[in-house]
Amino acid sequence: MSVLIMLLRKMARNYWLVICLFSGMLLCIALTSSMPIYKNAVLHHMLVQDLERSYEQTGEHPGMIAAQFTMQTDNAAIQSGIMSRFNGYWASRIVGNPLLHVTQNQQQVETVRFGLTPVDPSRVDPQVKRAAKFSMRTGIEEHVRLIDGKLPSPAKTDGVYEVMVTDSALAQLGMLLGQEYDVKDPKVKEAIRIKPVAVIVEKDLNDPFWGMQDLKNDQNTLFLPEKLFESDFIAKHPVIIGRVGGTAIADYAQFNLDTAAFMLDLKTNLAPDMLGKFNYSVSSTVLVPGAEAMTAYSEREKTLRTLLWSLNVPLFILITFYFYMVTSMLVERQKSEISVLRSRGASRFHLVLMYAAEFGLLAIAAFAVGPWLGVLFTRVLGSTSTFLNFVDRGSMQAEMDAESWKYAAGAVAAAWLLNLIPVFVATKNSIVDQKRAKAREGKRPIWQLFGIDIVLILVALYGNYVFRQRMTDLVKLGLDGKSLSADPLLYTIPTLFILGFGLLMMRLYPLFVAIFYRMGRKLWPPQYYTTLLLVIRRNRIYHGLMLFLILTIGTGIYNANTARTLNVNMEDQIRYAGGSDIVLRQHWENDAVSGGSAGPSVSGQPAAQAPPPDKIHYKEPPFELIETLPGVDTAAKVFTKEEGEAWLGTKSGKVKLMGIDTDAFGSAAWMKDSLTPYPFYDYLNLIAPDTHAVLLSQTAADFYGAKIGDTLDVGWEGIRPTRLVVYGIVPYFPAFNPNPAAGAKENDDKQRNPMLIVGHLDTIQNELGVEPYDVWVKLKPGANRQAMLDEMDKRQIKLEKFEDTIGKISESRMDPFRMAINGVMTLGFIISLAISFLGFMLFWLLSLQGRMLQFGIYRAMGISFKQLLGMMTLEQLLTTGAGFFIGIATGFAAGQIYVPLFQLSFDPGRIVPPFQVISDHADVFRLGISTCFMLAAALVILTWLLKRMNIHQAVKLGED
């Protein structure tokens, strides 16, 4: 207890340092523990989205697990064993499994077929051959609707079993409702009489209850109440059981990765595991519809885990540096105490053990709180749609699990060991060693002597060279680089560059200050003269602060540039490929022959197949129906013929022919201005006056050797070509990718280089032919796309094509890779600001406390409070301000050098628009505001401390 009290008192004396050290540990643990939480939350969200999409496409409930087992033996003992094994397995592994969250459970048992004869032949035809079977389904009464009759009695009534049948069964078996029938079959051991009392139909066919089997095939089935069937037919076994099965409906919104793995295993192993030794006696059918959507999640989990570690590498480097800086400050303040203890006989082990106990208390406290802060971090990560843009994504489940506690424990151990390194180094010094080290303060630091800054820069530049070579090889081979986009080195190398470049600037920084000093040497007031000399001669004391600011601000800028670049390029690719907000095509009626024959003739013989017309004639649907839809800003007709053909001189080749209305197309299409030498609209205006004018893609111009003014013959198969004039050549055009297709042959120019000709729609329709065209729709800001679709249904607009570019962009923001990039880099940016503020305030607070004697002497010499404040302001500008501007410059330099490597996240050879590094001045503004806030806070604290300072106490302290 006395040791604990001593440690607590020691921590209380340095409470600012302890708070900052605890904050760093907390951030480290929270960041580490958030990774598995975030990974599971993202994959759970994606899993639910995929399952819902599968449900919409197939109509099969993705949470359904269904199994049917058909008996291949009539041995009662074996059948009882199979049913007992099935019931136990189904109850424990399916219904009672906490992974599945089963909401509905249906078990089915059917007997073999048997013969039926009417009790009263006068009312029912006895000559009809009737073969029926008994069946039981759990809870069927709640999911059917009575067409006629009443629900059967749950018990045997006057020796008669009341049953339910379908309408088709009533007709198939030639039965009348309310009439009694006897079971007459040699396979039936005792007399059984039944009476159909109810005709039933499914209440709701969309109910998952009917997912495995609805009632349409039950044309010879007699349904008995569950309890009655179990007591009289399963227990007593009067009729041979033919089939047993079950259908469980699970709440797929609660599924996680463990559930996905279990379901995949279930699809393969349910029948063998359940049947065991009875496998030879049964044939089985297992249905797990959701398994198809779950197959990729084990691979996704590995990729996302690697990506998260890779993305967080710069943050871990930053936090490690923060630990070292804070612990070094803590040890620096206690060097005298450590040296005295060492000189009085204390071993290094005892001193390290003392600090280990102190850091251990902080680590335990951080471990108790950190993972819950990690849950909060996960909510921040999951709520980002783009960089620093937050949305309410309520379906993201951030929950603690055992994996996150393991990660947190690892982070605690790593943080504890990292904090002990400066202590271990400091404990080797005695008082004599400390005095010697103080006398050598003017010497260059070790990193300058060994050129660590140059080494880091060379390593970072070599890494850039290696990745660029790999990217070049990928383009040559036509491969996808996504496997390299999660490489940790891709995220570590920029941080090494920022660190190395920052150290290089700090090596050169005293020279710049010296030049600045000499420029106004005869003009500086005494107080500024003193400050400049201090910064020049004793700049080593500022190295830690400046490097910390450079690293945090540079990393923040780099993260911002990376996230914004990836977001903008991803969305630009989707917009460019789509062409407009929505692209649709109405159904065009035509005279083309459908099917293989013209139908039966009058005589009943098949008619001869009608010959296809020479040319298919289309009837254009009303375009005004689309133009006047709610939310539509502009609608443009865009005809596209993928298999067009063009001739120029002796050359001919396949081209993509596009017909447009220039005015409407210019308003509806999306195009990035930097893709063409002149504004996109100028090219449309160029061809607008001449109906035979066309634009040619650069690939087509290169292939044909065409130039402006040349004439082309353009058409397609079966159409007489028309002559058009080249008015302009464009490298890019909306929805046209000029890059060679993946896997194209090396020497096939037509295949490797897609070509485009853009002309007037009216000319193509009048001179070539009228064929179905697409409609490119630009929506008004904030338009409701669902309302537009509802209106289409009201107007009975038949669509053959509907591509929603806005929806694709929203869907892309839910991609795990993009969510990880946006979330981690947003969090990294925020953490960079937070720990830079903590480190800055800590440094200046300790610096001011350590220089109280110096300030007292300045005041005693006659320097006014205002002049003293001016000195400290200049000192901060020369150190903090310099670190801020070097950090910004370093971050932008790293962005220009390393952000282009993220082309590996796409297909590097087919990116359109070309990959472009994006910077946002708002990010620099945020950093500038935060830095100004830090400076202002430091000045306020400085002013407060200087106001409280008594000169006589400072002078007396110097005398002592």
For the stretch 116-164, pLDDT in tens is 888 888 888 888 888 899 999 988 888 899 999 899 998 888 889 999 9
Instruction: Pick 808 or 309 by higher pLDDT.
Output: 808
Average pLDDT over residues 182-203: 88
What predicted TM-score, i.e. pTM, was given to this entire model?
0.71
The CA distance from 318 to 326, in Å, is 12
Which band of pLDDT confidence, cut at 50, 70 and 90, is reported for residue 48? Answer: confident
Measured distance CA(325)–CA(418) in Å, rounded: 11
Cis peptide upstream of residue 314 (ω within 30 degrees of 0): no
526-530, 793-797, 878-882: least confident range: 526-530
Q: Which helix (H) or strand (E) holds 164?
A: strand 161-166
Q: How sure is the predictor about 615, in pLDDT bands with cuts at 50, 70 and 90?
A: confident
Count of structural domains within the chain? 3
Report whether pLDDT(951) > 60.
no
Which stretch of DSSP H or E encloses residue 283?
strand 282-287
Does 777 share its domain with 823?
no
User: Per the domain annotation, does 499 fall within a domain?
Assistant: no
- Residues 783 and 868 placed together within one structural domain of the fold: no
Mean pLDDT of 792-809: 89
Question: Smallest Cα–Cα separation from 369: which of 828, 839, 37, 23?
Answer: 23
**Side-chain half-sphere of 681: how many Cα atoms within 13 Å?**
6
pLDDT surpasses 80 at 745: no
Mean per-residue pLDDT for 357-381?
A: 83
Q: Please give the Cα distance from 707 to 696 (Å, whole number).
A: 9
CB 552 within 8 A of CB 887: yes
**CB-CB contact of 65 with 289 (8 Å):** no
Residues in contact with 720: Cβ distance below 8 Å, sequence separation at least 6, in sequence order: 768
| Whether 620 contacts 770, CB under 8 Å | yes
Looking at the structure, tell me whether residues 791 and 744 fall in a common domain: yes
Per-residue pLDDT at 811: 80
Residue 894 belongs to some domain of the structure: yes
Q: Determine how many CB atoms are found less than 10 A away from the CB of residue 268.
A: 12
Q: 630 and 726: one domain?
A: yes
Q: Which of 2-16, 806-820, 890-904 has the lowest mean pLDDT?
A: 2-16
Alpha carbons within 13 angstroms on the beta-carbon side of residue 670 total 21
The SS3 call for residue 851 is coil
Amino acid identity for residue 333 in this structure: R
Beta carbons within 10 angstroms of residue 660's beta carbon: 28
Q: With helix as H, strand as E and coil as C, how does 27-93 read?
A: HHHHHHHHHHHHHHHHHHHHHHHHHHHHHHHHCCCCCEEEEEEEECCCCHHHHHHHHHHHHHHHHHH
Contact partners, residue 68, CB within 8 Å, separation at least 6: 108, 212, 243, 244, 245, 284, 285
Of the pLDDT bands very low, low, confident and very high (cuts 50, 70, 90), residue 945 is: low
Domain, as residue range, for 868: 512-576+807-960
Give domain status of residue 35, yes or no. Answer: no
Mean pLDDT for the stretch of residues 514-535: 78
In a domain, 764, yes or no: yes
Cα 434 from Cα 79, distance rounded (Å): 88
Q: Which of 797, 832, 857 is the last residue of a domain?
A: 797
C-beta of residue 833 within 8 angstroms of C-beta of residue 930: yes
Q: Which burial class, exposed, middle or buried, applies to 701 when counting CB atoms under 10 A from its CB (0-12, 13-18, 19+)?
A: buried
Same domain, 770 and 821: no
Whether 432 shows a pLDDT value over 60: the answer reads no
Question: Quick one: average pLDDT of 632-654?
Answer: 90
Mean predicted confidence (pLDDT) in 502-518:
85
Q: Where on the phi/psi map is residue 473: left (φ > 0), alpha (ψ -120 to 50), or beta?
A: alpha
In 478-542, where does DSSP find H-type helix? 488-519, 526-537
pLDDT tens, position by position, 679-698: 889 999 999 999 999 999 99
157 and 245, same domain (yes or no):
yes
pLDDT of residue 163: 92
Query: Coil, strand, or helix at residue 346?
Result: coil
The dihedral built from the CA positions of residue 506, 508, 512 and 518, taken in this order, carries a sign that is positive
Tokens of 560: 């911002």
pLDDT band at 599 (very low <50, low <70, confident <90, very high): very low
Whether pLDDT at 355 is above 50 = yes
Round to whole Å and give the CA distance between 301 and 41.
Answer: 11
Residue 601: pLDDT band (50, 70, 90) is very low
User: Do 724 and 692 form a contact (C-beta atoms < 8 A)?
Assistant: yes
pLDDT at 558 over 60: yes
**Eight-class DSSP state of 100:** T
Q: Taking all residues of the chain, what is their mean pLDDT, rounded to a whole number?
A: 80
Give a yes or no: residue 664 inside a domain: yes
A 10 A CB-CB count for 21 gives 27
- With beta carbons less than 8 A apart as the criterion, state whether 617 and 593 touch: no
| Long-range pairs for 937-940: beta carbons < 8 A, 24 or more residues apart | 937/841, 938/840, 938/841, 938/844, 938/876, 938/880, 939/869, 939/872, 939/873, 939/876
Q: What percent of the chain stands above pLDDT 70?
A: 86
Residue 796 — left, alpha, or beta (φ > 0 → left; ψ -120 to 50 → alpha)? left
Q: In this predicted structure, what is the pLDDT of residue 304?
A: 73
Do 805 and 578 form a contact (C-beta atoms < 8 A)?
yes
Q: How confident is the model at residue 752 (pLDDT cuts 50, 70, 90)?
A: low
> What's the pLDDT at 853?
73
pLDDT band for position 313 (cuts 50, 70, 90): confident
Tell me the one-letter amino acid at 406.
K
Question: Are 851 and 951 in a shared domain?
Answer: yes
Whether residue 625 sits in one domain with residue 548: no
- The tokens of 698 are what? 């650069």
Residues 438, 540, 835: CA angle, nearest 5 degrees = 115
β-bridge pairing 774-779 and 632-648: antiparallel
Q: What percent of the chain has pLDDT over 90?
A: 15
Domain boundary (294, 312, 345) is at: 294
Instruction: Give mean pLDDT, residues 7-24.
Output: 75
The conformation of residue 934, written as its DSSP 8-state character, comes to H
Q: Which of these three, 773, 797, 821, is where a domain ends?
A: 797
What six digits make up the tokens of 359? 């850091």
Does residue 205 share a domain with residue 104?
yes
Specify the pLDDT at position 777: 93
The answer to whether 397 and 57 have CB atoms below 8 angstroms apart is no
Which H or E element spans position 161?
strand 161-166
Q: Please name the residues in contact with 562: beta carbons below 8 A apart, sequence gap of 6 or more.
A: 821, 825, 895, 899, 902
d(CA 633, CA 629): 9
Cα gap 733→512, rounded to integer Å:
50
Give the span between the Cα atoms of 839 and 852, in whole angstroms.
20
| Residue 695, pLDDT score | 94
Residue that wins the pLDDT comparison between 461 and 528: 461
Q: Are residues 655 and 748 in the same domain?
A: yes
Residues 155 and 287 in one domain: yes
Residues 708 and 825 in one domain: no
